[in-house]
Amino acid sequence: MLNELKLPFYLAFKSIIRGRKWTLFLTILLMSVAFINLIFVSALFNGIVAGSNQQIIDTLTGNVYIAPKQGIKYIDDKEKLLENVRAENGVTAASSGFQIPGEIERNARTGRWPIIAIDPNEYAKVINVSDHMYQGKYLDVNDEDQIIIGRQIAGGTDVEMNSTSLKGASVGDKLNVNFNGIKKTYTIKGIFYTKFIESDSRAFITERSLASFAPTMVGKATAVNIKTPNDKENSVMSEVKGLAPDTDTFLWTEAAGLMKSVSGSFTSINVLMTIVGVIIAGVTTFIVIYVDIVSRRRQIGILRAIGIKPYIIVANYVILAAVYATLGILLGSLIFFAGLVPYFIAHPFELPLAEAVLNLTPAEYFFRVQIVSWVAVISGLIPALIVTKTKMLDAILGR
């Protein structure tokens, strides 16, 4: 009995050793391509979703943000609130912004975009617009007549929202800004480009500039943005909630808006592509094993004639399929993690939402390893069962 159990492994080993090395290599390569196909799309969609989510955190809201309650315009005494927020465990940085309703005009081109008054130094610790200056420079605390605008406001060639932009504004241009009847002229100090459309559709001035035409707004804010480690968002939100009356506290996900729908769509597509990848992996394995078995029908007939039981022959090909799958997974993993992942880190996908890299969690990776392994075993089992049910004489004669 023990010898019978060893026999399928022996036959599989001899089949690999005595087989054509190029055939073995191409078989393993096919399996690795099927495996890469299965994990690549999933990693890409994960990367797009993760990159877009991180863009919201880094360029729009922070991990947690505080806003006035419904019906209340401002957060009063923002400095006290910021002091209390920064004292909480898990808070890396906190800053505030005062969004002003305003209309920007340049050369008869006019549009309404969010204009936010900030402390440039503190704001840069939470929202990284300063790291994405496309032209010119970021704001200084003492700037009073300077403004920075997003690329979607500036407009120009290849800008997604050029039709509603200022049609090619550049650093040094003068802009007339109307704050509900209060008019002020600004010079464009810089243009930023975060590659996230919503973030790039905003403009920033300094709190000092705000004080020059609306001194009653000094010390007030329309939002407080908080930076935390991603794994401490919920605990920080719980701690800062209720620090100031008449405010509400939100996670960045509340500001995701359209990205929730986009993420859901990518998840659905990912599931669909995973199913397609499983089918491709199954068909690939089935064809490889079936061709191998058909080419050895005579050998299989002879093995049966000398007393080798059919289940041993079936087990032999199941083991072969498992070996092909294992080697294919190892080669595919090497190509993916040592080649594709570093390449796309160095050259990320350029998307209007974000720069996407490949992002595959360990759980997803091992789940797909199991899928390919089981599909390979089943795909090896089916043709082996079919051939072993052929009449022994027909198999020997190759009929």
Q: 205: pLDDT confidence band, cut at 50, 70 and 90?
A: very high
Q: What is the pLDDT of residue 50?
A: 83
Q: How far apart are CA 253 and CA 238, in angstroms?
A: 15
In a domain, 63, yes or no: no
Q: Do 90 and 45 lie in a common domain?
A: no
| Residue 66 included in any domain | no
d(CA 339, CA 344): 9
Say how far apart CA 31 and CA 365 lie, in whole Å. Answer: 16
- Average pLDDT over the chain reads 84
- If you average pLDDT over residues 328-351, what whole number do you get? 89
Residues near 188 by beta carbon (within 8 Å), at least 6 away in sequence? 136, 146, 147, 148, 149, 154, 169, 170, 171, 172, 173, 174, 175
Same domain, 282 and 365: yes
pLDDT of residue 221: 94
Contact criterion met (CB below 8 Å) for 176 and 142: no
In a shared domain, residues 201 and 241? yes
3-state percent breakdown (helix, strand, coil) of the chain, nearest 5: 55, 20, 25
Asked whether residue 355 falls in the same domain as residue 214, the answer is: no
Q: Are residues 342 and 290 in the same domain?
A: yes
**Predicted confidence (pLDDT) at residue 298 exceeds the cutoff of 60:** yes
**Contact assessment for residue 39 and residue 340, using Cβ atoms and an 8 Å cutoff:** no
Give yes or no: residues 150 and 179 share one domain.
yes
268 in a domain, yes or no?
A: yes
**Residue 111 pLDDT greater than 80, yes or no:** yes
62 in a domain, yes or no? Answer: no
Look at residue 390 and tell me if it is in a domain: yes
Q: Which of 25-39, 125-139, 165-179 has the lowest mean pLDDT?
A: 25-39
Judge if 230 and 295 occupy the same domain.
no
Same domain for 39 and 111: no
User: Looking at 210, 245, 280, which one is the last position of a domain?
Assistant: 245
pLDDT of 71? 86
Q: Which of 22-31, 90-99, 182-191 has the lowest mean pLDDT?
A: 22-31
Phi, psi angles (nearest 5°) of residue 178: -110, 110
Residues 112 and 217 in one domain: yes
Model confidence band, residue 96 (pLDDT cutoffs 50, 70, 90)? very high
What's the rounded mean pLDDT across residues 157-170? 86
Q: Which residue has the higher pLDDT, 121 or 388?
A: 121
Q: Is residue 253 part of a domain?
A: no
Q: For residue 6, what are its two tokens?
A: 């060893």
Of 245, 279, 308, the residue at which a domain comes to its end is 245
pLDDT at 384 over 90: no
* Residues 351, 224 share a domain: no
Domain that includes residue 343, residue range: 2-55+260-397
> Into how many domains does the chain fold?
2
What pLDDT shows up at residue 382?
79
Residues 29-55: tens digit of each pLDDT:
888 888 888 888 888 888 888 888 888
Residue-wise pLDDT tens digits, 236-246 = 999 898 788 88
Residues 273 and 194 grouped into a single domain: no
Asked whether residue 254 is assigned to any structural domain, the reply reads: no
Structure tokens at 94: 């906190």
Residue with structure tokens 């930023």? 192
Residue 166 lies in a domain: yes
Residue where a domain stops, chosen among 199, 218, 245 = 245
Q: Are residues 125 and 198 in the same domain?
A: yes
The angle that helices 362-388 and 297-305 make with each other, rounded to 10 degrees, is 70
pLDDT of residue 351: 72
